[in-house]
Amino acid sequence: MEKTVATKKTAAKYKKPQSFREQTEQKRKKASEPRRLRKTANTASKPVKAARSGIKKAFSPLSFILKPLQTAPMRKVGRILSKILLLGYLRASWQELRQVTWPNRRETIKLTTAVVVFALIFGLFITVIDYGLDKLFRFIIL
């Protein structure tokens, strides 16, 4: 009888499938690690960059008009206006929204089902309490 010996090449081809426990441990480990964020503290998002570059291209022939706006006093006015218009807040909110991990389809269906079932049970509970109190007050008052 001949025995077949698995070589390193064939062992590398066939990877042992992960058990459910290993998968959940790996997900838990990945979730506990801090997320690496890109350093985008002073940079705007892509749509804002695209709009800015489009405006620059449109006004490039008229750049001599924009020269006075690039002075230090006008930059201060621009900063004040951005604080009044809450541009920093909107930019930070957009960055936070980009960090959200959205649930997949399966999780969404499970969570939606849980909410609907809870709402039905809670509504039934309130209905029973309302009916009981109605009967009680009618009995006491009438």
Provide the pLDDT for residue 62.
74
Query: Do 96 and 113 fall within a single domain?
Result: no
- Is 121 part of a structural domain of the chain? yes
Task: Indicate if the pLDDT at residue 48 is higher than 70.
Answer: yes
Provide the pLDDT for residue 141.
86
Task: Indicate if the pLDDT at residue 42 is higher than 60.
Answer: no
Residue of 100, 101, 103, 98 whose CA lies nearest to 115:
103
Distance of alpha carbon 17 from alpha carbon 19, whole angstroms:
7
Provide the pLDDT for residue 66.
63
Q: Which residues form the domain of 137?
A: 102-142
pTM: 0.36
- Is 36 part of a structural domain of the chain? no
Eight-state DSSP code of residue 69 = G
- Is 7 part of a structural domain of the chain? no
- Is 16 part of a structural domain of the chain? no
Distance of alpha carbon 44 from alpha carbon 53, whole angstroms:
12
Query: Do 87 and 122 fall within a single domain?
Result: no
DSSP sequence for 88-136? HHHHHHHHHHHT-----HHHHHHHHHHHHHHHHHHHHHHHHHHHHHHHH
* pLDDT tens string 86-116: 878 888 888 998 888 888 999 999 999 999 9
- Is 29 part of a structural domain of the chain? no
127 vs 101 pLDDT, higher one? 127
Number of domains in the chain: 2
Q: What are phi and psi of 129, to 5 degrees?
A: -65, -45
